[in-house]
Amino acid sequence: MAGQQEQEPEVSAAEAQPEASGPSGHGGGGTRRTFLQGLAGGVAGGVVAGGAGGYAYRASQPAPASVEANQASLAGRLPAVRFHGPYQAGILPKPQHHAAVVSFDVTAEDRGDLTALFQTITDRARFLTAGGTPPPVGIGGPPSDSGVLGPEVVPDGLTVTVGVGSTLFDDRYGLADRTPAHLTTMHSFPNDDLDSAQCGGDLVIQFSAGNEDAVLHALRDVARHTRGGMQPNWRIHGFSSPARPSGTVPRNLMGFMDGISNPDVTDAKEMNNLVWVQPGAAGEPSWTARGSYFVVRLIRMLVEFWDRVDLLEQENMFGRRRATGYPLDATGIFTPPDFSNDPTGETIPLTSHIRLANPRTPQTASSRILRRAYNYDRGIDDVGDLDMGLIFTCFQQDIRRQFEAVQTRLINEPLVDYISPFGGGYFLALPGVTGPSDYLGRAMLA
């Protein structure tokens, strides 16, 4: 095994589900749900879609993008990622350059309102990921779009990934008997320092795109169309660094490559074993099939402290070389460490991160997770240290069997002195939207 390269296949969002581009737009989007059909701004002729209790969202009809505009506006931007599919499009692709993870609490009045909320989120995500021209409103109101991306909304590889938290299944909407089997509030592990204001939420939405403006544009658009239905709870923005040197793996803010070893997203069997909730899974309500449990952990890195630690100690904590990403026992990034050949941890310490996280034994194979981490950076703390760290996210079939098993093995790893988990949550990323008449959460609400 030693020295053999075992490249883990990764696919970009565009490669994962490339949207067929046609003359009608970036991605042939623009089909709208009939009951949300309306015209600019709800002015004379517009339609008010009302759920129970007068809860109303107004949707507008975007113009299809022209071919000319399509090609011109893609300059420097990523193409559209297909929104429709059995799975949500933002789960398998490797991290994009920019992402925001936003938690919301639902304020919808009742089940009808909640349905309207999911329909509206779906409708906006469908438009934003495909791109197109926002509708002009004449003299009927303020512009229908923030204009942040210019007159035409470019997709820029945008994916919008929506998950539900356990609190959505309380007594408000009559969903208690549909709670996903493995969905709980996030556990507090030893060494965590969780701030309740930055934990949990009824919903989570992750926006990922090629540029920060596309992320912010999408967030503002979704928030604007759902003002009465949900309130943002906490949010965090992150980025995935370019691989340096190129051809390697993006680094975290401790300087180490992050997420080298991941399941093979091109292997459907592996995804069915590790990532997707399977139809008929024991204890799972049937609507959860093709969803994926989505764990978000906001982890502060004490980078000043870290920078005062000598290199060998740093490398022993991770079990990899900082410069190259190689396991300490190998000369290739993707060469798996051979722990069986090092039972006492002479080379790779028994307490190192990679060894505890993935011992690479038959017994631990089913605990593997699909890691999707972003770096975050947001200001300074009370003692003048930089507040930066990791938005750790991962997808899996069963949080207890996977994330919690991994995290339990990591309790008291030496790295804990240099990190401080402070927020996040457990969610179930919903099954995909299969077509123009489907919407996120349809089976859950049916």
- The binding site for other proteins (CB under 8 A) comprises 23, 39-48, 54-56, 58, 61, 63-64, 66-68, 105, 107, 109, 133, 135-142, 224, 227-231, 233
278 Ramachandran zone, left/alpha/beta (phi>0; psi -120 to 50): beta
Nearer to other proteins, 39 or 301 (CB): 39
Nearer to other proteins, 140 or 255 (CB): 140
Six token digits for residue 145: 């779009």
Q: How is 182-194 classified by DSSP, letter by letter?
A: T--PPP--TT---
Nearer to other proteins, 141 or 332 (CB): 141
Nearer to other proteins, 61 or 129 (CB): 61
Torsion of CA 377, 122, 159, 166, to 10 degrees: 50
CB of 201 to other proteins, least distance (A): 11
Q: φ and ψ at 301, to 5 degrees?
A: -110, 130
Q: What is the 3-state secondary structure (H, E, C) of 123-167?
A: HHHHHHHHCEECCCCCCCCCCCCCCCCCCCECCCCCEEEEEEEHH
Nearer to other proteins, 140 or 332 (CB): 140
CB of 144 to other proteins, least distance (A): 10
CB of 16 to other proteins, least distance (A): 29
Q: φ and ψ at 209, to 5 degrees?
A: -160, 175
Nearer to other proteins, 233 or 396 (CB): 233
Q: How far apart are CA 330 and CA 6, in angstroms?
A: 12
Torsion of CA 194, 197, 200, 205, to 10 degrees: -120
Contact 208, 99 (CB under 8 A): yes
Q: N- to C-terminal Cα distance for the chain?
A: 51
**For residue 168, what are the CA distances in angstroms to 180, 309, 398?**
11, 43, 19
Contact 86, 434 (CB under 8 A): yes
Helix (H) or strand (E) holding 118: helix 111-130
Q: To 10 degrees, what angle do helices 111-130 and 212-225 make?
A: 150
CB of 46 to other proteins, least distance (A): 5
CB of 140 to other proteins, least distance (A): 6
Q: φ and ψ at 233, to 5 degrees?
A: -110, -55
Nearer to other proteins, 142 or 283 (CB): 142
CB of 63 to other proteins, least distance (A): 4
Nearer to other proteins, 172 or 360 (CB): 172
Nearer to other proteins, 135 or 441 (CB): 135
CB of 13 to other proteins, least distance (A): 28
**Helix (DSSP H) and strand (DSSP E) numbers for the chain:** 10, 10
CB of 289 to other proteins, least distance (A): 31
Nearer to other proteins, 139 or 282 (CB): 139
Q: How far apart are CA 331 and CA 336, in angstroms?
A: 10
CB of 233 to other proteins, least distance (A): 8
Nearer to other proteins, 61 or 161 (CB): 61
CB of 47 to other proteins, least distance (A): 8
Q: Which amino acid is at 183?
A: L
Six token digits for residue 32: 């709208």
Chain centroid to Cα 298, Å, comes to 13
CB of 154 to other proteins, least distance (A): 17
- Residue appearing with tokens 């000369």: 331
Contact 119, 51 (CB under 8 A): no
